[in-house]
Structure formats: C-alpha cells, structure tokens
C-alpha cells in the first residue's frame, strides 16, 4: 500500500484505529466452534462489524501458529478476505521476525508476497542486515520494535549505553538505512511519556501503538505526545475490541467499542487539516 492511501483513510474515517485479531479458540463465543473454520468465522464477523471505524487490522501470528496448519489457513483466509473486501485498509502481520539476511528475506517473501500483508513487525536486535531484506519490498512497510509496551522494555531498551538509551540508538541508526522511509516503529501506549523525545528523532514516521485498553495505556497521552501532521499513529486495541462480549452479540459489541474509540480519536484528529 502507498502511504498516501493510509493517510487518506485516516482523514476520511477520522480514525487511527487498528483492530488486533488475536483470535483464541478458548475465548471466542462457543456457538462458533461448530463452524468449519471457527477462527475465520470469528475474524470475518469482527471485520464486517468494525471496518467502518478502523484503518488497520493486525492479526498477531502467534494466535494462528498455535493451531498449526489449520491456524495458518485461517490467517491466509483472513488476509485474503481483507485484501478482497477492504483493499484500502492497512494490514499488519504482527510476527516480530528478524534473522540473518537470507532467512529474513524468506520471512519477507512469506508475509509480503505469499500472504500479501502491507507490513510486518520485526525485532531489530540482529541489526541492519536482519531488517534490510524487508525494506527491499516496494510499497510494503517494516514495523520495527522500538519501545515496547511490556514491563520488560526496561530490561534492555531503556538502558543507557555510551550516554544514549538503547531504544533511541536503535531508532536513530535505523533512519540511516536504505529505504528507511519504509520503516514504521512500535511504541507502547504504556510508554506515552517517551513519545515527545521519539518524535524528535523520527518526526515523520508512523508509529504502531499497542497497549491501550487491557494494558492500561492512555490514548489521550499518545495523541498529546505522538501525533504529527499526518496523524502518524496507528493505535491498536485487540482484546478490548474483539472480546468486548464473548456471547452471541460479540460482533455488535466489538463495533460499539470500535466506534467509541474512533469517536475519541476523531476529537484529536479534528486538529489535522
């Protein structure tokens, strides 16, 4: 996808909402378990109910890989459904990959070419040659973990090395790589107070921000410190939306929660031209 399409969608829908499809057979409504593919049936119902409030969907691949071949088929059906029905909605494979170059190039092929996602999340710990194979793909985006939402982010990411916090060094270094314009960054909503400094390093990049809702991050703080002139944000909610109800009314409840978040976002996005 072209970045302009994403920005147009944000302005049109007055939303930066990303719905996380972390679909768990132990949590979805029991009546769906009799379907041939309960995971896809659930995802389809969630997509049908929420697409007008959202600009992105993010299946976390762990929830599909956990069910082996069947899970991978559900993931493939989900991305095919999104690409056919909603080609203007941005798709994220939350897979957190990254390996030596020739292995990373296989991951990039799998998510960008074979499955057809617009973007994939990557872990930058192995450095430039582990990320470059993803950046080689035109009109695809590589979303690098920068400052994550979990408590363990303080173990390494915020540690100071030679006078600079590691996450800042990672972000700044990545801006020197070829095709760095195809990079986006994960910053947890639970770390919103760090966003102003992150914006000093990458004023124009899009940030994928998980951690509102179940993890306790504040959406208002994310907008306050992280918004740029294109919005520059994709704010993810997974459990808060898809499990808003675990009964037969789950899709309607998901739509109600997605609309509530979209309205909150619209009040901030109104400031954009």
Ligand X SMILES: O=c1ccn([C@@H]2O[C@H](COP(=O)(O)O)[C@@H](O)[C@H]2O)c(=O)[nH]1
Of 178 and 193, which has the nearer Cβ to ligand X?
193
Rounded Cα distance between 168 and 158, Å, is 8
Instruction: Write out the two tokens for 266.
Output: 């619209």
Cα-to-chain-centroid distance, residue 245: 22
Q: How far is CA 51 from CA 9, 18, 48, in A?
A: 11, 10, 6
Output the smallest distance, CB 198 to ligand X, in A.
13
Of 71 and 188, which has the nearer Cβ to ligand X?
188
Of 96 and 128, which has the nearer Cβ to ligand X?
96
- 8 Å CB contact between 101 and 133: yes
Output the smallest distance, CB 257 to ligand X, in A.
11
The verdict on whether 96 is a catalytic residue reads yes
Output the smallest distance, CB 34 to ligand X, in A.
26
Which residue ranges make up the site for ligand X (CB under 6 A)?
20, 22, 60, 94, 148-150, 186, 188, 210-211, 213-215, 236-240
Output the smallest distance, CB 149 to ligand X, in A.
4
Determine which one of 96, 109, 169, 224 is catalytic.
96
From 238, 241, 234, 268, select the one nearest 256 (Cα to Cα): 241
Rounded Cα distance between 121 and 69, Å, is 21
217 forms beta bridges with 212
Report the catalytic residues.
Answer: 96
């Amino acid at each position: 996808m072209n970045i302009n399409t994403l920005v147009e969608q944000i302005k049109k829908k007055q939303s930066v909402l990303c719905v996380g499809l972390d679909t768990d057979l132990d949590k979805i409504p029991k009546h769906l378990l009799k379907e041939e593919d309960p995971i896809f049936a659930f995802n389809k119902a969630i997509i049908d109910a929420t697409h007008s409030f959202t600009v992105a969907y993010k299946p976390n691949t762990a929830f599909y890989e956990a069910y082996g071949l069947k899970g991978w088929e559900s993931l493939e059906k989900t991305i095919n459904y999104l690409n056919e029905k909603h080609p203007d909605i941005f798709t994220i494979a939350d897979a957190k990959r990254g390996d030596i170059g020739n292995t990373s190039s296989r991951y990039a092929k799998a998510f960008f070419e074979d499955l057809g996602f617009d973007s994939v999340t990557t872990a930058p710990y192995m450095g430039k040659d582990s990320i470059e194979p993803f950046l080689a793909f035109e009109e695809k985006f590589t979303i690098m973990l920068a400052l994550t939402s979990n408590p363990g982010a303080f173990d390494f990411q915020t540690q100071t090395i030679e006078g600079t916090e590691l996450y800042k060094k990672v972000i700044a270094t990545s801006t020197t790589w070829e095709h760095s314009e195809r990079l986006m960054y994960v910053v947890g909503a639970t770390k919103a107070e760090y966003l102003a400094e992150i914006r000093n390093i990458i004023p124009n990049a899009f940030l994928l921000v998980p951690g509102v809702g179940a993890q306790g991050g504040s959406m208002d703080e994310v907008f306050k410190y992280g918004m740029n002139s294109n919005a520059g944000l994709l704010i993810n909610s997974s459990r808060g939306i898809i499990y808003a109800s675990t009964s037969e009314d789950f899709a309607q409840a998901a739509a109600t929660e997605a609309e509530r978040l979209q309205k909150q976002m619209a009040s901030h996005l109104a400031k954009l031209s």
